[in-house]
Amino acid sequence: MSDQATLEVRNLQTHFFTKAGVVKAVNDVSFSVGKGKILGLVGESGSGKTVTGFSILGLVDEPGRVVGGEILYRGENLVGASQERMRQLRGNNVAMIFQDPMMTLNPVLRIDTQMIEAIKAHHKVTDDEARQRARDALGQVGIPSPDERLKSYPHQFSGGMRQRVAIAIALLNKPDLIVADEPTTALDVTIQGQILYEVQKLCAETGTAMIWITHDLSVVAGLADEVAVMYAGRVVEAGKVDDVLDAPMHPYTAGLIGSVPSRNARGKRLHQIPGMTPSLLNLPEGCAFAARCNYATAACEQPPALENAAGARQIRCHHPLVAEAV
């Protein structure tokens, strides 16, 4: 880590203060992502990965609040930054792509309106220039006849096309960082493949750093450079994609990988992780995964720390697995 990372998150804590109690959606999350790199942020639903994404953009809504940690964008701490500073960064330096393409575009505004306003929110340009850039961006994500498409309404696009438009909007101001929250989950597999390929190409070409939030390990395997696995609001394991997926050290990661149907396992029962994710309202004192873990011992009643392991890996476990465990 000689260069400054595009984004570094340190000990991020985002809690929701509900009537029922404090929901610790993100509870000590750290990772970093460098220029042109793609970080896969993996976890089950409810593990806090989406909230992490929103925290980075300062889009956590009441009753949620970032209560601790640092979010360093090129060295600038975004936790506690002013509303106006966050607005300047959003869409310009840091962009986000949402999960459901059917819901992210405003149904009553034309595509050109929604694209041009995104440019003009950050740059003093004429409408014509903005329109030109919007057209280019649509072309960049592979939308045919962009001129015509600019005048359309979102409902005139298919889901895959809409997600391309959303990606084009994210690319408009050439951001340094894109947070993509499961952008391909709602799409057909073939479309998913095309989009993944294009995103990978774009990151490599433009040097944009990307955080790809997903629950799908196979996507991460093909796309990301590094991966961080989240469980119950914490990063439990992080490292280079190949290292982590080939030789998971955390029992939870191993369980996740084990539950992916693969060609080798045909005919065999799929592995599954017993039990359910714990309620974020009252997390156990110690390791949150202990109740579901085959390796748990009395030691697991103490919270494990995120420790560095060999090969630029980090692991939060009292009983890390050795390489041949899977």
Partner 1 sequence: MTVFVIRRLLQAALVMIIMSLLVFGGVFLVGDPVEMLVADDADQAERQAIIKSMGLDLPFYMQYLRFIGNALQGDMGNSFVFQEPAMELILERMPATFELAIAALLIAVVIGIPLGIYAGLKADSWMSKTIMTASILGFSVPTFWVGIMMILFFAVILGWLPSTGRGDTVELFGIPVSFLTLDGLQHLILPAVNLALFKLSMVIRLARAGTREVVHQDYIKFARAKGLSTGRIIGVHLFKNIMIPVVTVLGLEFGGLIAFSVVTETVFAWPGMGKLLIDSIGFLDRPVIVAYLLFVVGLFVFINLVVDVLYSVLDPRVRLQEVKS
Q: What is the DSSP string of 65-122?
A: EEEEEEEEETTEE-TT--HHHHHHHBTTTEEEE-S-HHHHS-TTS-HHHHHHHHHHTT
Q: How many residues bind partner 1 (CB under 8 A)?
A: 28
- Does residue number 10 form part of the binding site for partner 1 (CB under 8 A)? no
Cα dihedral 224→53→11→279 (10° resolution): -100
Nearby residues of 262 by Cβ (< 8 Å), 6 or more positions away: none
Residue closer to partner 1 (CB basis): 71 or 217? 71
β-pair type (209-214, 21-33)? unpaired
**Would you count residue 295 as binding partner 1 (CB under 8 A)?**
no
Residues 55-74: x/- map of binding to partner 1 (CB under 8 A)?
--x-x---------------
Tell whether residue 174 is a contact of partner 1 (CB under 8 A): no
- Nearest residue (CB) to partner 1, 59 versus 309: 59
Q: What's the Cα-to-Cα distance from 142 to each of 42, 225, 262, rounded to whole Å?
A: 27, 24, 31
x-marked contacts with partner 1 along 16-55 as a string, rule CB under 8 A: ----------------------------------------
Structure token digits, residue 303: 């919270």
d(C-alpha 42, C-alpha 253), whole Å: 10
Considering the complex, what minimum distance in angstroms separates the CB of residue 93 from partner 1?
Answer: 9
Backbone angles phi, psi at 107, to 5 degrees: -65, -25
| Of the candidate residues 139, 153, 296, 303, the single one contacting partner 1 (CB under 8 A) | 153
169 binds partner 1 (CB under 8 A): yes
Binding status of residue 232 toward partner 1 by CB under 8 A: no
> Using CB under 8 A as the criterion, what x/- string covers residues 93-132 for binding partner 1?
--xx-x-x--xxxxxxx-------xx--xx----------
Place of tokens 């460098």: 34
Give the nearest distance from C-beta 128 to partner 1 in angstroms.
20
Q: Should residue 141 be labelled a site residue for partner 1 when binding is judged by CB under 8 A?
A: no
Beta bridge partners of 77: 72
| Interface residues toward partner 1, by CB under 8 A | 57, 59, 87-92, 95-96, 98, 100, 103-109, 117-118, 121-122, 153, 155-156, 166, 169
